[in-house]
Amino acid sequence: MAFELTEDLIEQIENLIEVGDNQSILNLLEDVHHADIAEILDEVTTEEATYLVKLLDSEKTSEALMELDEDYREEILDNLSPQEIADELNELDTDDAVDFLSELDEEIQRQVIDAIEDEDHARDIVEMLRYDDNSAGGLMAKELVRVRETWTVAGCVRKMRAQAQNVTRVHSVYVVDRTDRLIGRLSLKDLLTADAKSKISDIYIPNVDSVNVHDTAEDVARLMQKYDLEAVPVVNDSGILLGRITVDDILDFIRDEADEDYRMAAGLSQGVEADDTVWELTRARLPWLVLGLVGSLGAVNIMKSFEGALSVHPELFFFTPLVAAVAGNVGVQSSAIIVQGLANDNVTGSMWLRLLKEISIGLINGLALGILVVSFGVIFGFGWLLSSTVAVAMLSVIIVAALVGTFVPILLDWRGIDPAIATGPFITTSNDIFGILIYFSLAKLILGF
């Protein structure tokens, strides 16, 4: 059932473009889904993609363009006239149209908006450009089915038919009063099973979840997931129904958030893909590497200040990468657990209990690893005293690293900063420094040098 994009097909399309055989291209791509058209656009050159976008029906290419990478979409749009862009926008729901438009220069934006045929659509788009990307207003679409509480079921079905033409998928029917204030909803199932003569006011469900147009995207995502909503209506401060957000918009948002957390844990400072250019990949990677390096250079200076140990116990220096690695790994684990906990709202209970818990986990892990280190040290001839010193220092380092990894994200969250930035290289680096400082201080205390 699934469409298979073959090199043969791409070659065939490229040849047809070269000879300008438009009819054959149209026949070939007639039944191809817009998501597959997007894959084709991704495989051909920008010029060929532009050719296809101009040739194919806007209904299909507009949705295909939405699926493309932003940068690549911009390249293609640069080759289109404002009128051609407007034709594409005409076919999109307002939320997608706004995403599309907000990437263009303001001057071109104006020209495109002027060129949109449907004046209501243009007005909706202009209104939505005002909302923040990360708010309910930025996520919502204006297309929805709205009925008055005073209508009858039969009249409602009649009027809905007209409205439904403009709505790709009907999720819910929203019921409003005379002033367009949202007062409830109606499922299509209810309409199907209701008597044609009943009034909407008799059958609608008055209990409807809604979000304010200024709510954050995070809050909307949380609400929709908690209550398993497939669509949620958006209202302004007076309760007037403005639009609706559907689960697929939220799905994209959730994936982006998860990707971002993963990215930060891996020390990438911006969204990159394996296929980006060397320059884009470097820009994403270098900042955290520099931060990590600066931290490590601090650790070099700390070790230098303990160089007295070199003459007495040089083997201590063989264990510094081990101590740093353990501190880094423990810190990343602790921060990942707490960052996910904060995101899912399940960090509850008193801070003292959490402190006690982290210390217990640190003790257990530290004892287990300590036994391994001492066994290794004795077997490989580092002696009891030095091996035990390393083990005791490592135990302390583990506990400190776990506390740093746990409480730094919590503090950031309290201050309203995204705790995810405290994962990855940030935690690793600060734990490297702390770890080495604690390790040598304890070793000096025990071994005396």
Min dist. Cβ of residue 277 to a copy of itself (A): 9
* 152-177 CB burial, b ≥16 within 10 A, e <16: bbebbbeebeeeeeebeeebbbbbbe
- Residue 77 has, within 13 A of its CA and on its CB side, a CA count of 26
Query: Among all chains, which residue has been given the structure tokens 């038919």?
Result: 161
Q: Which of 441, 352, 93 is nearest to 101 (CA)?
A: 93
Bridge partners (DSSP) of residue 205 are 185
Min dist. Cβ of residue 141 to a copy of itself (A): 13
Min dist. Cβ of residue 440 to a copy of itself (A): 11
Min dist. Cβ of residue 220 to a copy of itself (A): 11
DSSP 232: E
- Give the amino acid at 415: R
Sequence length of the chain is 449
Q: Which of 82, 16, 5 is nearest to 55 (CA)?
A: 16
Min dist. Cβ of residue 191 to a copy of itself (A): 8
DSSP reduced 3-state for 175: strand
User: Is the Cβ of residue 126 or residue 167 nearer to a copy of itself in the bound state?
Assistant: 167
User: Is the Cβ of residue 112 or residue 439 nearer to a copy of itself in the bound state?
Assistant: 439
CB 137 within 8 A of CB 128: yes
Min dist. Cβ of residue 317 to a copy of itself (A): 4
Q: Which residues contact 181 (CB under 8 A, 6 or more apart)?
A: 235, 238, 239, 240, 241
